[in-house]
């Protein structure tokens, strides 16, 4: 019996066709669609076509693939992309035949298609250099893959577009048998050059990582490439590109708002630094920048993986992911603005399917925190908050300046005093389970239960004259 897993993000034009094709195939008893926060009706269409729809635990194709694998009930698992068209009717049978016959443990599709620029210019040259025994694989980045569930569950799933080539390299290293199957010509949705650039970076990182992991490259080179890529996310120019041109903007605090708890407290508990953290956390004697630097210094020597695990372990607030997806459906770009660290903010961004995050950058060397931090440029503004050298309202100002957007078009949500300036400046402001009376006073609306309650308040913004008076008052 065969389980078909389809990771999706906004594939409403094709998902029904893909699901129906899978169900017409011999041996398919379940189709699992793993949704990455689609806002175009993809989950509903998939469900109507008979698929079992689950929400991904983390934004990114690889995470969705892994979620689908662990949800699958059958021994044979076939992955299909949700944006495919022009599929041959017997695709499922072709892809699973080597598994059924025992000729292979892992099957990659071979197909002709337009495009393939990342494959030709990035993946295949690097594979030829570091893994020449796999140079015959024509589509190393192709998402049409089949395998035995027992084999797949022992592999590492990268969370981004590097997942497909990562699985291929890991399967080869494990000694499992690999087959290629010709499935004819298929069509994918075209990608922008910016999206292809991001994909290429992720693919390069994964191939170099595996080359190092399997003794074909020095590890330090890999870590430096990864660190440069990660730091670039904090640059304002990169942030602006990720936001794009929009008419509506929503800015969320992270700790206590999207998260039901504080990331840094969870991290401190994991590395036995809770008592030391308490000396700096929320200390009125320290400026924001000094507090951030001292907290960063506490975690020198902590592996990056511990930061990431802590960020994934803090529970989400009720309705967090659902609210972000709903706002994106309404045309909002949704961002996380936090005075914590980008390594955590990016994990949380993907957990709730937000568009971007703004935070300070903890620096790592060879996967270990140095204790040094780069303060977020966007939290500083020459004409920004007069009371605080680092302030979230400055992020709002930068974005409004760049987008030509009045603050009245911004929704801001927070829970504590460091969010107050941002809430005062926004057209629609919400205090979620506020920690102080001053925060309540800074917001137009107060909610205590589920973040989805925000949606009821979107039509009632503050008057322009009220905003002008309150925009940059102290916290």
User: Domain of 291: which CATH number?
Assistant: 3.40.50.1000
Q: What is the pLDDT of residue 469?
A: 37
- Which residues of the chain carry a pLDDT beneath 70? 113-116, 188-195, 218-242, 282, 459-475
User: Do residues 464 and 321 share a domain?
Assistant: yes
Phi, psi angles (nearest 5°) of residue 293? -65, -40
pTM: 0.78
Answer yes or no: do 156 and 10 share one domain: yes
In a domain, 108, yes or no: yes
197 and 264 in a single domain? The answer is: no
Q: Please tell me the predicted confidence (pLDDT) of residue 190.
A: 62
Look up the CATH number of the domain holding residue 151. 3.90.550.10
177 in the same domain as 245: no
Which pair of structure tokens corresponds to residue 181? 């199957």
User: Which residues face 407 on adjacent strands?
Assistant: none
Q: Note whether residue 243 is domain-resident.
A: yes
* 197/141 same-domain check: yes
Query: Do residues 6 and 53 touch, judged by C-beta distance below 8 A?
Result: no
User: Two tokens at 171?
Assistant: 């399967």
For residues 249 and 175, membership in a common domain is answered with no
Domain match, 282 and 352 both: yes
**In a domain? residue 314:** yes
Coil, strand or helix at 442? helix
- Whether 248 is in a domain gets the answer yes
Specify if 225 maps to a domain: no
Measured CA to CA, the distance from residue 351 to residue 58 in angstroms comes to: 4
In a domain, 220, yes or no: no
Task: Please tell me whether residues 434 and 303 are part of one structural domain.
Answer: yes
The answer to whether residues 55 and 170 belong to one domain is yes
Count of positions (residues) in the chain: 475
Tally of domains in the chain: 2
Sheet holding 332-341, edge to edge: 368-374, 356-365, 332-341, 248-252, 410-414, 428-432, 445-447
pLDDT given at position 184: 87
Q: Do the domain assignments include residue 352?
A: yes
DSSP 45-61: HHHHTT-EEEE-SSSSH
Residues of the domain holding 34:
2-205
Kindly state whether residues 183 and 289 are assigned to the same domain. no
With respect to residue 446, please indicate whether it lies within any of the assigned structural domains. Answer: yes
Same domain (yes/no): 6, 142: yes
DSSP β-ladder status, 52-55 and 28-35: parallel
Reduced to 3 states, what is the DSSP secondary structure of residue 113?
A: coil
* Sequence-separated (6 or more) residues with CB below 8 Å from residue 115: 188, 190
pLDDT tens digits for 261-291? 999 999 999 999 999 999 888 677 788 889 9
């Amino acid at each position: 019996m065969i389980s078909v897993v389809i990771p999706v993000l906004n594939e409403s034009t094709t998902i029904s066709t893909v699901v129906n094709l899978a169900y017409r195939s011999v041996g398919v008893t379940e189709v699992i669609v793993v949704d990455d926060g689609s806002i175009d009706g993809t989950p509903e269409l998939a469900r109507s076509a008979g698929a079992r729809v689950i929400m991904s635990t983390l934004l990114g194709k690889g995470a969705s693939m892994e979620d689908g694998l662990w949800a699958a009930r059958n021994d044979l698992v076939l992955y299909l992309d949700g944006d495919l068209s022009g599929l041959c009717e017997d695709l499922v049978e072709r892809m699973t035949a080597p598994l059924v016959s025992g000729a292979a443990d892992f099957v990659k599709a071979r197909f002709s298609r337009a495009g393939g620029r990342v494959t030709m210019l990035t993946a295949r040259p690097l594979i030829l250099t570091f893994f020449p025994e796999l140079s015959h694989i024509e589509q190393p980045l192709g998402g049409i893959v089949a395998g035995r569930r027992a084999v797949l569950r022992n592999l590492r799933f990268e969370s981004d577009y590097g997942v497909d080539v990562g699985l291929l390299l890991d399967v080869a290293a494990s000694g499992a048998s690999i087959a290629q199957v010709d499935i004819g010509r298929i069509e994918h949705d075209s990608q922008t050059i910016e999206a292809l650039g991001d994909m290429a970076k992720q693919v390069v990182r994964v191939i170099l990582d595996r080359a190092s992991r399997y003794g074909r490259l020095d590890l330090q080179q890999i870590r430096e490439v990864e660190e440069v890529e990660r730091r670039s996310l904090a640059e304002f120019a990169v942030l602006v590109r990720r936001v794009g041109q929009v008419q509506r903007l929503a800015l969320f605090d992270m700790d206590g708002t999207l998260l039901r708890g504080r990331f840094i407290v969870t991290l401190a508990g994991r590395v036995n630094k809770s008592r030391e953290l308490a000396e700096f956390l929320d200390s009125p004697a320290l400026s924001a920048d000094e507090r951030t630097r001292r907290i960063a210094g506490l975690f020198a020597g902590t592996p990056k993986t511990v930061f990431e695990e802590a960020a994934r372990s803090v529970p989400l607030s009720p309705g967090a992911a659902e609210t972000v997806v709903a706002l994106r459906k309404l045309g909002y770009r949704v961002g996380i603005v936090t005075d914590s660290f980008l390594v955590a903010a990016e994990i949380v961004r993907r957990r709730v399917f937000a568009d971007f995050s703004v935070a300070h950058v903890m620096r790592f060397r060879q996967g270990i925190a140095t204790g040094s931090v780069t303060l977020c440029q966007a939290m500083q503004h020459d004409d920004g908050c007069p009371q605080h050298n680092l302030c979230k309202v400055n992020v709002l100002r930068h974005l409004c300046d760049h987008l030509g957007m009045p603050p009245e078009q911004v929704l801001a949500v927070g829970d504590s005093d460091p969010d107050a300036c941002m809430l005062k400046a926004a057209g629609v402001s919400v205090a979620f389970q506020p920690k102080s009376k001053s925060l309540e006073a800074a917001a137009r609306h107060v909610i205590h239960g589920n973040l989805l309650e925000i949606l009821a308040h979107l039509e009632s913004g503050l008057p322009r004259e009220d905003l002008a008076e309150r925009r940059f008052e102290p916290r």
